[in-house]
Amino acid sequence: MGKILGLTGDEVAAEVIRQINPDVMAAYPITPQTEIVQGVSQFVADGLMSTEMVRVESEHSAMSACVGASAAGARAMTATSANGLALMWEIVYIAASLRLPIVMPVVNRALSGPINIHCDHSDSMGARDSGWIQLYSENCQEIYDNIIQAVRIAESKEVLLPVMVTFDGFIISHAMERVEILDDEEVKNFVGKYKNPYPLLDISNPVTYGPLDLYDYYFEHKRQQVEAMERTPEVIQKVGEKFAKISGRSYDLIEGYKLEDTDLVVVAAGSTAGTIKEVVDELREEGVKAGLLKIRCFRPFPVREIKEALKKAKAVAVLDRSASFGAEGGPLFLEIRSSLFEEAKKIPVVNYIYGLGGRDISIKQIRSVYQNLQRIAQTKEVGKLVDYLGVRE
């Protein structure tokens, strides 16, 4: 059943939101997310969705309205990019602390300044401590699949955390790809109904959301959030298995590409993972044992799966599409390295910061990364720990 369509990333997001038909969508346009909001608006205007669209006057209000709607007992969604996410930063933390299962596509775009509308991961990486689950999509199909699963993951009783589903701005959001769309009914059945256990609109059981915590209770409330994140990986895997049953596509916290007997591994998230797969195939033809570790779930960070995936590697390069100024490398690199710290066998790990502000990354550049990994594997010399791929000196 279902059908095959040629859709851009934003169009896919709009389409899947149509199928999910959330009760409330409060969103503010920002390039390159705009087509999502426009697409949904058209669906609503044409009577194809019964969603209450709240055309808020800023992203801060978008997330605020989603918090209100979700606490009220409705399924709420929004979407944003870069500075939009930055503007709603205050409320993003609050949404997670209130344990509201809001699902939000984030079309990855560089944070200002200078203002740049193209792709990098500085926006979602900047929100990595907010308490949101973060899933990175490689291509249009994954956007579709991730958003559907995100609703189930977010609303699971054991989790009750909001989920960010990211995909690369312009590279994926505005590129048309082949996508398999499920039937409306199948999506509807998969996401089911949202049941907030304590809705504001249940007037016979008045509850108070968002009290003042003094130093006697704040820590306990935060500890509960840690607990929810710890229960999340298992839920993501279970939902991935259930999704495989209706779509034929299975999902886990990470994706290993030709990792079974690999020496040289590159770790990446987002669309670049797709480009790396091309390079891995080329190198394998040439007899090089190259592989890719794609990070799908960044929060919670899948430490166990990463240790397992990298245990045979002789050298690892982590590609970061964002910088953490003042840190010794990018966020993905620092966390991968940290996961491997306890392991008996010391694996050399290096970092490449690349693609900031939409700077393209080429097959040639990725090959040079594997070349460096070969050198490291042979000489055991790490050389430069953090390098910048594609910047003009």
Contact residues for another protein, defined by CB under 8 A:
23-24, 26, 50-52, 54-58, 60-62, 64-74, 76, 90-91, 94, 97-100, 160, 198, 200-203, 205-214, 216-217, 219-221, 223-224, 227-228
The helix/strand/coil state of 309 is helix
Residue (195 or 380) nearer to another protein, CB: 195
Residue (219 or 325) nearer to another protein, CB: 219
From 248, 247, 105, 244, select the one nearest 183 (Cα to Cα). 247
Question: Hey, what are 348's tokens?
Answer: 């050399």
* Helix-helix angle 363-379:272-285, to 10 degrees: 60
Residue (223 or 392) nearer to another protein, CB: 223
Within 10 Å of residue 224's Cβ, how many Cβ atoms?
11
What are the two backbone dihedrals, phi and then psi, of residue 81, each rounded to the nearest 5 degrees?
Answer: -150, 160
Q: How far is the CB of 18 from another protein (least distance, A)?
A: 15
From 132, 139, 119, 126, select the one nearest 31 (Cα to Cα). 119
Q: How far is the CB of 54 from another protein (least distance, A)?
A: 5
Residue (69 or 181) nearer to another protein, CB: 69
Q: How far is the CB of 221 from another protein (least distance, A)?
A: 5
From 355, 297, 322, select the one nearest 164 (Cα to Cα). 297
Q: How far is the CB of 66 from another protein (least distance, A)?
A: 6
CA distance to 103, 135, 151, 166, per residue, from 30 (Å): 17, 20, 23, 15
Query: CB under 8 Å to 378, separation ≥6 — which residues?
Result: none
User: If 0-12 CB within 10 Å is exposed, 13-18 middle and 19+ buried, where does residue 325 land?
Assistant: exposed
Within 10 Å of residue 313's Cβ, how many Cβ atoms?
25
Q: How far is the CB of 257 from another protein (least distance, A)?
A: 37
Residue (161 or 309) nearer to another protein, CB: 161
Q: How far is the CB of 193 from another protein (least distance, A)?
A: 9
Spell out the alpha helix ranges (H) of 161-200.
184-191
Residue (151 or 264) nearer to another protein, CB: 151
Residue (62 or 290) nearer to another protein, CB: 62
Q: Are 106 and 77 in contact (CB under 8 A)?
A: no
Residue (44 or 244) nearer to another protein, CB: 44
Residue (22 or 302) nearer to another protein, CB: 22
The helix/strand/coil state of 16 is helix
From 291, 235, 241, select the one nearest 263 (Cα to Cα). 291
Question: Hey, what are 168's tokens?
Answer: 């690369």
Residue (113 or 211) nearer to another protein, CB: 211
What is the spatial distance between Cα 336 and Cα 331, in angstroms, rounded to a whole number?
9
Q: How far is the CB of 111 from another protein (least distance, A)?
A: 21
Q: How far is the CB of 96 from another protein (least distance, A)?
A: 9
Question: Hey, what are 102's tokens?
Answer: 């809001």
What is the spatial distance between Cα 16 and Cα 187, in angstroms, rounded to a whole number?
8
Query: CB under 8 Å to 195, separation ≥6 — which residues?
Result: 155
Q: How far is the CB of 203 from another protein (least distance, A)?
A: 4
Q: How far is the CB of 24 from another protein (least distance, A)?
A: 5
